[in-house]
């Protein structure tokens, strides 16, 4: 393989990028944006060299503890469990959660051989039983695997006497009911609360 083929194959590793998209990106970078290609290469090398997992919550960090884990103003009674650093970043963008996090390394998927060991359930349970945590918020996705992960975690936390809650599901803000999928409407009915 030549250098161009290696670049295309490397770009195909990105989620959602197929052969044609990888080719378009490679051709664009090499034909129209050589400076961008150099910047991308340097940024990837720097990130691969310096970014690691936070020792406490397992999100991405360049230091032993990430900025959130170092923030003593956050509420130590709350621990939010998410599937990935991207999910943690989404929660932070809401500016409505002020506790700490635990980032799983994915979600359970027995068909793919991903068990509680691979996603880091043991370290989560150790963290949750540190004596400070009073509530564990399960913010896994609402896919079948995410639901299974939340169920397994809830049972394990309950067995240790810890309170766990699950993110609510419902109709998105600003949406019209006729355009919302039926599953979302059904969950919103089940999870309804007083107005």
Domain limits, the chain: 3-50, 74-166
pLDDT at 120: 83
Question: Does domain 3-50 bear CATH number 1.10.8.420?
Answer: yes
Tell me the residue length of the chain: 195
Instruction: Share the mean pLDDT of the chain.
Output: 91
- Say what the pLDDT of residue 171 is: 78
Residues 180-193 have a mean pLDDT of 80
Domain 74-166 CATH assignment equals 3.40.50.970: no
**Using an 8 Å Cβ cutoff, are 42 and 27 in contact?**
no
118 has a pLDDT exceeding 70: yes
pLDDT at 121 over 90: no
Collapsing DSSP to helix, strand or coil, 52 comes out as strand
pLDDT tens digits, residue range 49-87? 999 999 999 999 999 999 999 999 999 999 999 999 999
Q: Does residue 23 contact residue 7 with C-beta atoms inside 8 Å?
A: no
Inform me whether the pLDDT recorded for 111 exceeds 80: no
Q: Output the CA angle 58-63-68, nearest 5 degrees.
A: 60
What pairs with residue 138 in β-bridges? 81, 166
Q: Give the integer Cα–Cα distance in Å for 105 and 58.
A: 8
For residue 108, pLDDT beyond 80: no
Confidence tier at 174 by pLDDT (50, 70, 90): confident
Phi, psi of 88 (to 5 degrees): -65, -45
Bridge partners of residue 52, in order along the sequence: 61
- Name the pLDDT band for 195 (thresholds 50, 70, 90): low
Is residue 192 scored above 80 in pLDDT?
A: no
Q: Which residues pair with 37 in a beta bridge?
A: none
Answer for the pair 108, 119: CB distance below 8 angstroms, yes or no.
yes
Residue 132 pLDDT greater than 90, yes or no: yes
Structure token pair of residue 127: 């963290």
């Amino acid at each position: 393989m030549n250098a161009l083929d290696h670049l295309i194959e490397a770009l195909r590793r990105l989620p959602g990028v197929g052969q044609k998209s990888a080719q378009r990106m490679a051709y664009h970078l090499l034909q129209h944006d050589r400076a961008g290609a150099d910047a991308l290469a340097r940024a990837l090398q720097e990130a691969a060299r310096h970014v690691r997992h936070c020792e406490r919550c397992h999100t991405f960090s360049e230091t032993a503890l990430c900025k959130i884990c170092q923030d003593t103003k956050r509420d130590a009674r709350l621990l939010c469990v998410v599937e990935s650093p991207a999910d943690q970043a989404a929660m932070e963008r809401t500016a409505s959660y002020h506790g700490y996090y635990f980032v799983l390394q994915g979600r359970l998927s027995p068909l793919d051989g991903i068990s509680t060991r691979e996603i880091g359930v043991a370290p989560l349970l150790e963290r949750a039983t540190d004596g400070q945590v009073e509530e564990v918020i399960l913010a896994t996705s609402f896919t079948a695997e995410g639901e299974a992960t939340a169920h397994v975690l809830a049972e394990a936390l309950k067995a240790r006497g810890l309170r766990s809650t699950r993110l609510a599901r419902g109709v998105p803000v600003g949406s019209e009911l006729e355009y919302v999928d039926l599953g979302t409407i059904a969950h919103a009915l089940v999870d309804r609360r007083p107005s």
